[in-house]
Chains A and B, each alone.
Chain A
Amino acid sequence: MFWNADVKRGNQAAKECLDVGIRILAEAKGLRDNKPDAKLGKVMEVLLTFPFSSEVQRAAETISFLTGGFDTTGYTLAWTLYELARHPEEQTALASDLSTDSQPPRLTRVVNEAMRLWPVVSGGGIRVASRDFVCSDGVVIPKGSDVSFPLYGSYRQPWIHDADQFMPARWCDDAPQVGELREAFAPFNRGRRACIGQTHALLTIKLTIAHLIRKYEWSVLVDPTPVFYLTLKPEGLRLKVKKRA
């Protein structure tokens, strides 16, 4: 396939991404060496000191953290704003709660519900089954199978009441299905390969949504088209924003 123009363009773009990683590392080293009072991020401190096998791997890791951290959080913010703009009653209730509490329980419920309906990493990951696994309905996943866990479909299964509806109240402590939902919910995956930045991402999402709802009112101008390529993007979304009175 190396003769294909798109493959060539893709390889060139990947090489240029790596160049961005090299530039980021150079800038950080410059800051460290020339401005001793400048504070580097903790991740950069480890990136600069970890014994990688090569400098290319150091740059690749720099760019892979950024790649894994930007659109996942960015699209989750966009989907959450979209759902709140579509549901003014939820938006008003959240704004009201935020006027007295910076991290109200409703904020967690809204973010969870947006991530349930629109899990940005919809593919959910693939694992090789190390043994036979027996499912709840008796189906056996044989040892050695490649098993994929599509999150979008998992979170819209018929066992979830009104699964296609945005209903943050389903995450209340006394909601009828909350136990099963919490058990099933893993937008950052689980186990030793779970998303390394999930705490950071969740804090950013909650802080940003809280800020944007406290200060502004949102409504929908153009609905998005869900487009999947590695991550689930609300393509074409247009919102109207105005300052909250």
Chain B
Amino acid sequence: MDTMDTEAFTTYDEHSFTFSLVVASALLVVAITTHIWRMTSKENKCKLPLSELSTSETIRMMTSKALPELLHEQSLILGKVFRLSMPQWRPFVMCMDPQVSKEIFQDATSDKPDLYKVIEIPRGCPVLISKKTSSVGKDSWAAERKAFASCFAKNQYNISNANNQLAKLDLYLEATICDDDGNLEGVSRIMCQYTVDAFAKAAYGIEMNALGGPIDSLGNTFLVRICLKCMSTYKLHKCTQVPFHLPSHWID
């Protein structure tokens, strides 16, 4: 009896497993076929121009320092909206049509892709610019956005604080005029140091002393760490770059 029961169950299990496998395979085939049909159907394939760049060339382009100009060049060849070959299942579309970009951005149901699940700079922690602010449980993005939005309203802008920061910038520029005949080197760095100080004072109420401050000031410590983070990622990207034809003022 025991043996018969065991055999019966074994046969049932085998049939059940085979049946499940067949159903699952069939569903998978239907899903893949539907997706391929949908993305490459005559209508869509004819209408959405596809870049001639291969997937590896596209990756090289996407990690290039000259990416904005390279995408612009592609748009001059293919038009305002086109597809790039990326190693992903969904189509990757570049849209430079202002009307459509407005429509998509203002469409509340068109959200950020999963790429934005993790933002690297705050060590992978979900923040307001990631897709969600909670990796587990109920997402608090909307509540967080609402709480912070009013802090950046026009009536919260402190003009006297802004004038104090401009006075610090004046001191820096006047020293440059005296000492270096007004030759201002590293304008981008100076402006970033100024904005770190201005933002920290206005938004947080603290002094970060990046502009004209010591290298170990809070502001300069932050800037050095950000640069290190960006440089390490850039070095990773560099091996994938390709020497596209570039305008003379773009060096890759």
Contacts and interface: CB of A to CB of B under 8 A. Distances in A.
Interface of A: 4, 6-7, 9-18, 20-21, 23-24, 27-28, 31, 38-47, 50, 53, 56-57, 59-71, 73-75, 77-78, 81-82, 122-131, 133-142, 144-154, 156-158, 180, 183-184, 186, 189-194, 196-200, 203-204, 207-208, 211-212, 215-216, 221, 223-230, 232-235, 237-243
Contacts of A196: 128, 145, 148-149, 152
A240 to B, nearest CB: 5
B248 to A, nearest CB: 10
Given A140-B48, A144-B91, A207-B159, 15 more contacts: A4-B236, A13-B232, A17-B123, A40-B205, A53-B134, A60-B126, A128-B90, A138-B47, A146-B115, A191-B106, A212-B169, A215-B170, A228-B68, A229-B65, A242-B177
A144 B153 CA distance: 34
Contact of A14 (B80, B105, B229): B229
A53 B149 CA distance: 19
A56 B116 CA distance: 19
B230 A200 contact: no
Nearest to A191: B105
B68 A9 contact: no
Nearest to A21: B122
Interface string B131-149: 0011001001000110111
Contact of A226 (B94, B134, B200, B249): B249
A13 to B, nearest CB: 4
A14 B92 contact: no
Interface in B46-64: 47-49, 64
